[in-house]
Amino acid sequence: MPERPLLTLDGVHTHIGPYHILHGVDLVVPEGQLTMLLGRNGVGKTTTLRTIMGLWRASGGSVTFEGARIEELGTPDIARLGIAYVPETMGIFTQLTVRENMLLATGPKGFDEARLDNIFVTFPVLKQKWNDAAGGLSGGQKQMLAISRAIVEERRLLVVDEPTKGLAPAVIENLIEAFLRLKATRTTILLVEQNFHMAESLGDTVAVMDDGRVVYTGRMADLAADEDLQARLLGFSLAAHQ
């Protein structure tokens, strides 16, 4: 039985200054699944995520989360609905400690020790670096911190932009394991990714973008199995990029 949609984008247009970036994006993120958003560089994937978060305002169309329109809300209000965002830049506060970075993502009561322990099981290095300045972490450790910050409280949806960018293969495997653990908890995730090994390993459903719109939606397994489709949509096959 298909999962009910948690997030729906319907004909979303976004302008950045004089540039028309999104040309009517239609996207459905089913609840409890991991949706991959794929596409070549510059097709509007990051803009789509930023539009969902209200960091760029949609100039047309609608964004619906749990049945309510959110495209007119400000970013803080969207975040408070339970949507966590991990930007491509990771958004780590380098002058703050690891603990302070995480604390900012918690509610007034502070840390849930059980959730924190689970995070430390997945990313033990964060426990070791707990009181160190986040600016001193490696790229992979910063990404672990960014993802941990997104899940330190229970969220309805994680929106993650290219978490493996610039990371070593060993770190990527670590991140794949972390996302698999999240999937096991039925957390809904929308993930932009260029690493197709990761996309194939994690994705339940997939949407492929081109020129500011979604041109394909389906099951990730179907796309991974069809090299002709990959070549047509992405310009290459997944197998060649593993």
Q: How far is it, in rounded angstroms, from Cα 195 to Cα 207? A: 15
Residue 169 touching other proteins (CB under 8 A): no
Side chain identity at residue 209, one-letter code: M
Which residues is 123 bridged to in the sheet?
none
Q: How far is it, in rounded angstroms, from Cα 242 to Cα 226? A: 15
Nearer to other proteins, 61 or 82 (CB): 82
Nearest approach, Cβ of residue 30 and other proteins (Å): 23
**Which residue intervals of 3-112 are DSSP H helices?**
45-52, 75-80, 98-103
The single-letter DSSP state of residue 133 is B
Residue 104 touching other proteins (CB under 8 A): yes
Nearest approach, Cβ of residue 139 and other proteins (Å): 14
Cβ(202)–Cβ(34) under 8 Å? Answer: yes
Rounded to an integer, what is the distance from CA 130 to the centroid of its chain? 24
Interface residues for other proteins in 129-158 (CB under 8 A)? 131-133, 135-136, 149
Size of the site for other proteins (CB under 8 A): 26
Build a one-symbol-per-residue string for 35-54: x at contacts with other proteins by CB under 8 A, - elsewhere. ------------------x-
Shortest CA distance to 123 belongs to which of 93, 152, 97, 145?
145
Nearest approach, Cβ of residue 135 and other proteins (Å): 6
Q: Which of 4, 72, 89, 154 binds other proteins (CB under 8 A)?
A: 89
Residue 96 touching other proteins (CB under 8 A): yes
Q: Which residues bind other proteins (CB under 8 A)?
A: 53, 55, 74-76, 79-80, 85, 87, 89, 91, 93-97, 100, 103-105, 131-133, 135-136, 149
